[in-house]
Structure 1
Amino acid sequence: MNRSEGLVQRRTHTNSSTNDKTNNSNNGSDCVTNSDPKTSHSNDGTDEDIDSKETRLTLMEEVLLLGLKDKEGYTSFWNDCISTGLRGCILIELALRGRIQLERVGLRRRSLLLRKVLLKNGSPTGDVLLDEALKHIKETEPTETLQSWIDYLSGETWNPLKLRYQLKNVRERLAKNLVEKGVLTTEKQNFLLFDMTTHPLVDSGSKSKLIKKVQDSVLSKWVNDPHRMDKRLLSLILLAHSSDVLENAFAPLSDDDYEVAMKRVRELLDLDMEAESAKGSACEIMWAVFASFVK
């Protein structure tokens, strides 16, 4: 198997003041986790959660960190998937923090991607990118589907009235967050015709732990049931794949471990996202984002 070919074929994506609303619109899904990366612990049992003082990263920051070249400090120029992948991360992060949810199924059961995104809690998260996306959703809900929001936040729409919803300079803003957290630094590099701000890695320990967490999730700590996996970790695996950066986490593996990891990621990608979203306390927006990228 040629490891340079990456993972399975992906579809590049083309296509508080509100408590009363929260109580009235709750659709029964349980998305909320101890999700503040600055103050809380993840519940996936990973070693890095032992140290409460450790730097906490958002889902978007973790995906970007996997995609950044350590010394060069930028993502691959050939990666045309990470932009939409990061928007998917933003929507999942908002759901995990209890800010948004999908509308009720109703008598006529509609697919995940056709159901509207609803505001669940409009209070700020403290993260500028998340709050900007939340503001857009708050202004327009409940008229847009999750698929539409991925398009709008990415700027991939022919409707000029929707272009104002595009989140701009997302990678640069996430990189600056990582600089503030001491994971990256800022440099200027000359590329013959232009200068570019880059963000090389300075805290190799944070990225090493992130890579180990991803590797362990599909190897030594594989649970063979997505609903027993930590929601944030499951999202990281599938959104890293959709962003074409998961290969970077698997590159150091031996050939045998690489084969096993690939097989298990494919098992996750082959799940019936509609069916999984209806199980137990599944986070429907999380599964809807997955569905939008793997359909």
Structure 2
Amino acid sequence: MSTLTKRSGESVVQRRKTAGGGSNSGGAADREADDDDHYEEQDVDEVSKETRMTLMEEVLLLGIKDREGYTSFWNDCISSGLRGCMLIELGLRGRIELEKSGMRRKSLLNRKVLLKSDTPTGDVLLDEALKHIKETDQPESVQNWIELLSGETWNPLKLRYQLRNVRERLAKNLVEKGVLTTEKQNFLLFDMTTHPVINSTIKQKLVKRVQDGMLSRWPNDPHRMEKRLLALVYLSHASDVLENAFAPLSDEDYEIAMKRVRELLDLDPDAEAMKGNTNDVLWSVIAAFVK
């Protein structure tokens, strides 16, 4: 799992006046929380309204270098992070859930994923993952599904659950949505297809959404955050791309944002999932990455 990095230079820990801005946005956050179980009805931010990006596409877009058009060669976390995004998407869209009967006090990581609805989502990758969950011989936990969808299994009979070429397929989705383009780059020994950003406005709005969620719109309570934004922060960190969203910040804002990310990472997912208006699948995926 990726770790939080700290900027070099002198840290600025002074509290800004805007750090308490969450109180002004509490009503909006509550309204967002009421709506975000339905993807089609919860697009409260301009990014989703304009492009209807999935959580996987948002995480990948944060990780892609604007001009180069590819993610860091050293990033070995994003593959599993994207699979976690898929499970959260399916959970928020009401397609899967965790077993409940007698399981409320059982650890999230030990509860199995169950099919709630097999209605197609309209997204090829999500529907492929949903098909695997539907056709599995026996229920698996969220952590096991992340590994199976990533192809990280020693059981040859379960290799069929692996989703292949996920990053390339997500990039092609973003090309179709006019966010990225497709180019060929020569790397001496081989040619590689890359996907540079051509709609920087969309990416900047996504970056600003993440920044504002940790700064001016910070509610000081994860349950008052819109669920998709909460998932985006956690899964961007798990995919080692969250730093890309915070890099443009001033030293002062950077320290505040990272402090609040650490607060989220220190939460107990099992305890948080017991509170009202929560999504068990979301917190189970979070538990798989932070524990």
Q: How many residues align?
A: 262
Give the match for residue 251 of structure 2. Answer: 255
Tell me if structure 2 keeps the 8 A contact 1:183–1:206. Answer: yes
**Structure 2 CA distance for aligned equivalents of residues 32 and 185 of structure 1:** 30
What SS does the corresponding residue of 1:118 show, helix, strand or coil?
strand
**Structure 2 CA distance for aligned equivalents of residues 108 and 211 of structure 1:** 36
Tell me if structure 2 keeps the 8 A contact 1:119–1:141. Answer: no
How far off is 1:2 after superposition? 4.1
Give the match for residue 132 of structure 2. Answer: 136
Give the match for residue 39 of structure 2. Answer: 35
Give the TM-score of the pair, scaled to structure 2. 0.86
Task: Describe the superposition over 1:247-268 as per-residue Cα deviations: whole angstroms up to 9, x where unpaired.
Answer: 0000000001000000000000
**Structure 1 CA distance for aligned equivalents of residues 230 and 207 of structure 2:** 14
Higher RCO structure (Cα 8 Å, ≥6 apart): 2
Instruction: Indicate yes or no: 2:70 matched with 1:74.
Output: yes
Amino acid aligned to 1:62: E
Amino acid aligned to 2:90: L
What SS does the corresponding residue of 1:109 show, helix, strand or coil?
coil
Tell me if structure 2 keeps the 8 A contact 1:178–1:184. Answer: yes
Match among 167, 180, 184 for residue 184 of structure 1: 180
Tell me if structure 1 keeps the 8 A contact 2:265–2:290. Answer: yes
Task: Describe the superposition over 1:105-127 as per-residue Cα deviations: whole angstroms up to 9, x where unpaired.
Answer: 50683210111100001010000
**Structure 2 CA distance for aligned equivalents of residues 113 and 93 of structure 1:** 18
Tell me if structure 1 keeps the 8 A contact 2:38–2:94. Answer: no
Match among 269, 273, 276 for residue 277 of structure 1: 273
What SS does the corresponding residue of 1:150 show, helix, strand or coil?
helix
Give the match for residue 214 of structure 1. Answer: 210
Amino acid aligned to 2:39: S
Give the match for residue 14 of structure 1. Answer: none
Tell me if structure 1 keeps the 8 A contact 2:58–2:206. Answer: yes
How far off is 1:142 after superposition? 5.0
Task: Describe the superposition over 1:55-74 as per-residue Cα deviations: whole angstroms up to 9, x where unpaired.
Answer: 22100000000000000000
Match among 88, 92, 106 for residue 88 of structure 2: 92
Dislocated runs of 4+, deviation >6 Å: none
Give the match for residue 7 of structure 2. Answer: 3
What SS does the corresponding residue of 1:3 show, helix, strand or coil?
coil
What SS does the corresponding residue of 1:212 show, helix, strand or coil?
helix
How far off is 1:42 after superposition? 2.4
Task: Describe the superposition over 1:126-177 as per-residue Cα deviations: whole angstroms up to 9, x where unpaired.
Answer: 0000000000000016521111101100111111111110000000000000
Instruction: Indicate yes or no: 2:198 matched with 1:202.
Output: yes
Give the TM-score of the pair, scaled to structure 1. 0.85
Match among 233, 240, 254 for residue 236 of structure 2: 240
Tell me if structure 2 keeps the 8 A contact 1:118–1:141. Answer: no
Structure 2 CA distance for partners of 1:227 and 1:125, relative to 1, 3 Å: same
What SS does the corresponding residue of 1:76 show, helix, strand or coil?
coil
How far off is 1:238 after superposition? 0.4
Give the match for residue 142 of structure 2. Answer: 146
How far off is 1:3 after superposition? 2.0
**Structure 2 CA distance for aligned equivalents of residues 229 and 240 of structure 1:** 16
**Structure 2 CA distance for aligned equivalents of residues 133 and 31 of structure 1:** 24
Tell me if structure 2 keeps the 8 A contact 1:31–1:282. Answer: no
| Aligned alpha-carbon RMSD (Å) | 1.8
More helix by share: 2
**Structure 2 CA distance for aligned equivalents of residues 120 and 200 of structure 1:** 37
Unaligned runs of 5+ in 1: 5-29
Matches within 5 A, 1:36-75: 36=40, 40-43=41-44, 46=45, 48=46, 52=49, 54-75=50-71
- Percent identity over the alignment? 72
Tell me if structure 1 keeps the 8 A contact 2:185–2:192. Answer: yes
**Structure 2 CA distance for aligned equivalents of residues 32 and 229 of structure 1:** 10
Give the match for residue 17 of structure 1. Answer: none
Give the match for residue 7 of structure 1. Answer: none
**Structure 1 CA distance for aligned equivalents of residues 6 and 235 of structure 2:** 22
